[in-house]
Structure 1
Amino acid sequence: MSVLKKIPLEHLGYDFIPNEFLHEGQDEYTLRFQQNPRNDYRDLTAIEVQELIANGNWSSDWSKVKVSAIFDPKQVQGCKFYGLVRIGNLSPSYLEYRNLQLPIGLYHSTIISSDFGDDVAVHHIGYLSYFIVGNEVLLSQIKEMETGSTAKFGNGILRDGEESDKRIQLELCNENGARSVYPFDGMQAADVYLWTRNRHDRMLQHRFEELTDQKFGTQRGYYSQIGDRCVIKNTFTIKNVKIGTDAYIKGVSKLKNVTVNSSRESYTQIGEGCELVNGIIGYGCRIFYGVKAVRFILASYSQLKYGARLINSYLGDNSTISCCEVLNSLIFPAHEQHHNNSFLCAALVMGQSNMAAGATVGSNHNSRAADGEIIAGRGFWPGLCVSLKHNSRFASYCLIVKGDFLHELDIQLPFTLVSNDVQHDRLLLIPGYWFMYNMYALVRNANKYEARDSRHFKNQYFEYDMLAPDTVNEMFGGMETLAFAVSESLQHEGNKTREEHILAGRTLLANNIDLKDKTIVLSGAENSRRPTVIQKVGEAYHLYRSFIKYYGVLHLMDALEEGRSIDEIIASLAGEKRTNWENIGGQLIESTALQVFLNDIKSKKIDSWDDIHEFYHERSKEYLLDKRKHALLSLIEILTLEGVEISGDKIVSLLDEALEHRIWIGEQIYKSRAKDYKNPFKNMVYANDEERDIVVGKLTENSFINQQQKELEIFKIRVANLKGQF
């Protein structure tokens, strides 16, 4: 049962912090005055007190009500004050926001031990306790606004005297809680990724916990805060919150133990029917219409809409979840998820991802315990009504065809279409599918994500390009996998090692062996006895190789245009090999540098989360040069596989190949979009071509295709200029 206490009225508004938790030399106002150091408040005059009483106001002790220089008792009506209440200047004006016009002052509210900045409009607040309210804030029709002395504002910390079970943790990537992290304001997807991944490294795990605790301290007694120019109206419960400037909050059911980051340039909005508990909300976020979020972090410029449910999850920057349910997941930037029956559970999704309607990357209670996980690389796209089984793992840009996948999958071929062939009881893979059939979407998405990256402070370089160290490394691995599968499927004599199979397969594929009537089977892609069949093997192998070479030549062109000679470039790469990279929260970092960084955390050379974030920032500044080096080493490696050495004589042919490839990309972009205009089933809903063009736009006026053509013309000029140097 509830424990209802009865305490003398004169104590209301005092003893916010129990005496046993006051630090030496402090009282209950010490932290409050640190949060609001303003000191121009004055006592009320006797006449002002009389006017306030005449206006229907009441205080248990009028000496505890302080005001500033500009004060008119007429602007305070029908209020009750308990404890120390401090009120800033009240000018004879009103505040207006979207047609809501309310006079400045305090009206018909119960206020307990709180501070107000200048020119606030506070109307009909049923209960407001232990808040610091900024300047020009509009508060209207709010049932409860309260703060407890142990308020943590969504951070995973403990206050003095609290037991460990009071600590908020995010149970990410796995439902069993064994990958939990302590959330904190400013936490980035990279922080969460590194913390959730390295569970075997107990020292590193301890350091992450230690850095979080030292970031905040343990003192009780921090007040809730509402920043300047905020508007909060028609809301039921607000408790233990820290809200930045310029936020707009309306019709909220509950906002409890939450930090809401907001600024004039990047303001956050929270709308009707939302219940947000134990969370951190980033700058520039939008949360509307019945959203339920519990134990969560919503990174900057992301959206939750239309009944979305986000529980025990981290949603990266520039992402949107609408209607759907997401549980126990770590999602990197640029994620899209719509439609009411999309469900994502116990997953690590590495960004630029899209969940289609009915997709169920969902409940993993199909095993003996709720401890399954799914890991998906960049560009993950489970299509309509896809159901996947935990554990599964997917390379970058995997597209899953509609169907129920009853077995665990390990798809390490990037840009692959994954299909469940129920009729023949087999798994079908088409590597390089995006290159062959939907180049329009593939290239457009990279541009789209870049354009949607609304961050004002880009302290991390998020990689959106389809050609980057992670995907290129996967294509190198994909070439080996395809070569192995071809040799193993076609050459049954002898007991070849994997290396011997790869070498034999490469020879067959390099000679363009006809595989049209051959069945190429891949082992280890599905946890079942049925076969996994790869289609379009030859095409995929050569596409991987062509895109790797194109990637290298693009960066070679950049280096040459900066005035570096080919001999200088080759000399700078002497003795070096292509390196492994890791996607940490949308930022790509070379694996060796990442390990040095983690060791520095353990040795306390890096000793704060600010230091960690500075590392991300510094690596981001170096990223483009590091990526170029990776691209050039990739080019050398792919040419070596072809038996060719890079040289001045080879440059002209490489430039010609790159131009041919760029022209082919342009043609594929056009063709993949033009199919929609030629398909009679697409056109049957329109009266004629004119109506179709009005509804979807003319193909000839497609801005993306036209922009690609302009970029192609510029590329031709670049190639011609560089060829002139040789």
Structure 2
Amino acid sequence: MTPEECLIETERLIRESDFLKAISRISSPPTESRALTEKEIERMEKNGNRAEDWSRVTVGGNFDPDLVHYSHFLGSVHLGLSPGNLLLETIPLPAEIWNTVLADCNVFGRSVIRNVSLLCRTSIQTDTILMNCGRLTTETPPTSFCIGENLSLGIETGGREVPLFPEITVEIAACVAKHRADHDFLQRYSNLVHEAKKRAATARSIIESGCRILNTACLTNFCIGTGTVVDGASLVKNTILLSAPEEPVRISGGASIQNSVVQWGTEVSSMAVVENSVLGESTCIRHHGTVTNSYIGPNTAIEKGEVKASLIGPFVGFHHQALLIAVLWPEGKGNVGYGANIGSNHTGKAPDQEFWPGEGTFFGLGCNIKFPSDFTEAPYSMVATNVTVLPQRLEFPFSLINTPAERLPGLSPAINELLPGWLLSENTYAVKRNEIKFKRRNGAERNRLVFEVFRPEIVDKMLRARKRLVEVPKVKEFYTSQDIPGLGKNYLKDGARIRGIEVYTFFIRYYALRGLYRRIRESSLSRDRWDTLLSSPSEADRWEHERGVLLAEFPGISVEEALGKLIEMQEKVAENVRLSKEKDDRRGTRIIRDYAEAHPSASEDSFVRETLEETAALRKEIESLLGED
């Protein structure tokens, strides 16, 4: 996303914001309002109710005083209460107000409000249940909740601040965090957010329709979206909970949220703590997970560990006690193993260093990442268990960083061994599984997520990496970054260099051949005109990239020959996926007596079967294409 695209998208999101529209609608005076009659006041008092001034209590046209018992009214209160039942789980509850103190509040439609210690400066929409809560208040109105607050992403001490607004996406946050030299862009973005903040200013906190607020001690300066469930939270303060009936937000189990935005379909539970942060669509913070001054992208789960001053992209698995501090990772799709320490941002002078992981990076158990480091040119790489990674810039995709297999002359033992392309050659199963898994598990509808691994930007990184491996000035037993740029603080054995070239070449060509096959299927060209696909430029950016790679890798090849090669390569990929799983099967059965009875074999594995089925279908279709006259 370019800065200009970022501004256009930000302006659109703010202009079309359902949140801001709801603020405007709910902040308007009640359309139907009248004073209580003397008879209604008498009935209210008979039901155990009291008011500071009954003349400041207004009601809807069909108000029934018998819906209100043992409550106290302070200031201006509007009771637009309607009769009916609401379900709490499977239990029908009658709409009513019972044993609650209301101050400067509006209540609309069928609502159940029971045992609330103080409901102050809050507007409650229809079909809402509030039960057994402490204080729900708006302090020092007007409030814009947390809009305009700065997230210090990537640098704990500041320098990449991103002002937040409710619908902010990963792409927007990353663009603002990374374009610090473009002062005009930053100012224009800040102006847009400031305008949203002004539009959001309201005298009351808001609970939209269909919410369930239960057993919660304190809510202050909040906007709670449609269908939200807050049950047993300890604190919700200066927070916006975006929600929808089909994508409800759930806050429960002692969770605490302050100065934050929680987007659609997200869960915060089991003593999790969220402060000064944005939780993207369908995220999950659980089991004492802590998120501070961070953006957590869609479909990412944070459990038990700590995230601070970080931008974490989609589909990051973080299910154990580990640490992420000052990490700029908008690409996401990685994994953080137990005990991973990714937070060495303090030089002894200030905590001002940062780390940029690449897409799909896997951090093994107990690894230590020293800052500053940049892995963005090394997507889908893996840091092995217990490895300490020195500050570096790594530029080899699909690599393994491992502890040194041997002591080499003239090298510090702190220098690790690098195996370029290792994930593709030794663990194709993981690549295939992740691609399929992310598609199936995606719960985000508003962020533009890409699930495909082999796409132009990833292939370009592979092309650059292969070029560096090929162009070594002199063949040696091993190499460092002085010999091959982009190796970082690692060494590379010559055998691994040659293997890396082979692996990169295979998958670069595989990408291009897949593109040709897709282009043939999308075109209406007869077979005798297929070769024009290779010789004639088009306006399709993706195909032009694939065509350029194809011509460079296979000069003079015919389309028929290329399709034949694709069958061979696809079958090789399927075979590698199967072998990756079978390798685990063999090792497991050697060690665990009943391993085979407890684990599905490669032939039973769903990802293996799906890959084999795709391969068979591809072969059948290509053979059909080649068999046409």
- TM-score, reference length from structure 2: 0.89
Tell me the percent identity: 24
| Letter paired with 2:556 | E
- SS of the aligned residue for 1:109 comes to strand
CA distance, structure 2, for counterparts of residue 572 and residue 232 of structure 1: 62
Matches within 5 A, 1:613-692: 625-639=540-554, 644-646=555-557, 650-680=558-588, 684-686=591-593, 688=594, 692=596
Partner of residue 235, structure 2 = 254
Partner residue in 2 for 1:264 = 245
Which residue type is aligned with residue 483 of structure 1?
V
TM superposition shift of 1:434: 1.1
Helix, strand or coil for the counterpart of 1:69?
coil
Instruction: Give the superposed CA RMSD.
Output: 2.2
How far did 1:365 drift? Answer: 1.2
Q: CA deviation at 1:570?
A: 3.5
Please name the residue that 1:716 is paired with: 619
Q: Residues 172 and 180 of structure 1 are in contact (CA less than 8 Å); yes or no, is this contact kept in structure 2?
A: yes
Matched with 1:227 is 208
2:142–2:204: 8 Å Cα contact kept in structure 1?
Answer: no
- In structure 2, give the amino acid aligned to 1:467: F
Which residue of structure 2 lines up, in the alignment, with residue 547 of structure 1? 507
Q: Give the letter aligned to residue 536 of structure 1.
A: A
Q: Does 1:452 align with 2:441?
A: yes
Q: Which residue does the alignment assign to 2:17?
A: none
Q: Say whether the 8 Å CA contact 1:428–1:535 is kept in structure 2.
A: no
Q: Does 1:430 align with 2:419?
A: yes
Shift of 1:218: 6.6
Instruction: Write out per-residue CA displacement over residues 305-347 of structure 1, whole angstroms, 9 at most, x where no aligned residue.
Output: 100101111011111111110011111111111112x101111
Aligned length: 591
Q: Compared with structure 1, are the counterparts of its residues 417 and 317 closer, same or farther at alpha carbon in structure 2 (3 Å cutoff)?
A: same
Give per-residue Cα distances to partners, 1:192-219, cap 9 Å, x unaligned: 1111111111111111111211233278
Q: How far apart are residue 238 of structure 1 and its match? A: 0.4
The aligned amino acid for 1:377 is G
Instruction: Tell me how far 1:153 sits from its aligned partner.
Output: 2.0
**Alignment match, 1:558:** 518
Does residue 400 of structure 1 match 2:392?
A: no
Give the gaps of 5 or more residues in structure 2.
Answer: 1-22, 408-412
1:145 aligns with 2:136: yes
Q: Which residue of 2 aligns with 1:109?
A: 100
**Which is further off, 40-49 or 381-390?**
40-49
Q: Which residue of 2 aligns with 1:124?
A: 115
CA contact (8 A) 2:82 2:108 kept: no
Q: SS where residue 437 of structure 2 aligns?
A: helix
| 1:707 partnered with 2:622 | no
Equivalent position SS for 2:134: strand
1:347 equivalenced with 2:309 (yes/no): no
Match of 1:133 among 124, 136, 147: 124
Letter in 2 for 1:118: G
Using the TM superposition, give the Cα deviation of residue 699 of structure 1 relative to its aligned residue in structure 2, in angstroms.
3.7
SS of residue paired to 1:449: helix
Q: How does 1:132-531 map to 2 (within 5 A)?
A: 132-148=123-139, 149-156=141-148, 168-217=149-198, 220-340=201-321, 342-349=322-329, 350-366=331-347, 368-394=349-375, 395-405=378-388, 407-421=390-404, 424=407, 425=413, 426-455=415-444, 457-458=445-446, 460=448, 462-485=449-472, 487-490=473-476, 518-523=477-482, 524-525=485-486, 531=491
Residue 408 of structure 1 contacts residue 526 of structure 1 at CA under 8 Å; is this kept in 2? no
SS at match of 1:241: strand
- For 2:345 and 2:447, the matched residues in 1 are separated by 36
Where 2:162 maps in the other structure, the secondary structure is: coil
Which amino acid counterpart does residue 421 of structure 2 have in structure 1?
A: G
**8 Å contact 1:268–1:285 — kept in the other structure?**
yes
1:634 to partner: Cα distance:
2.2
Q: CA deviation at 1:173?
A: 0.6
Distance 1:71 1:683, change over 3 A: farther
Shift of 1:101: 5.0
TM-score scaled by structure 1? 0.78
Please point out which of 516, 526, 536 is paired with 2:496.
Answer: 536
1:80 aligns with 2:80: no
1 CA distance for matches of 2:561 and 2:309?
51
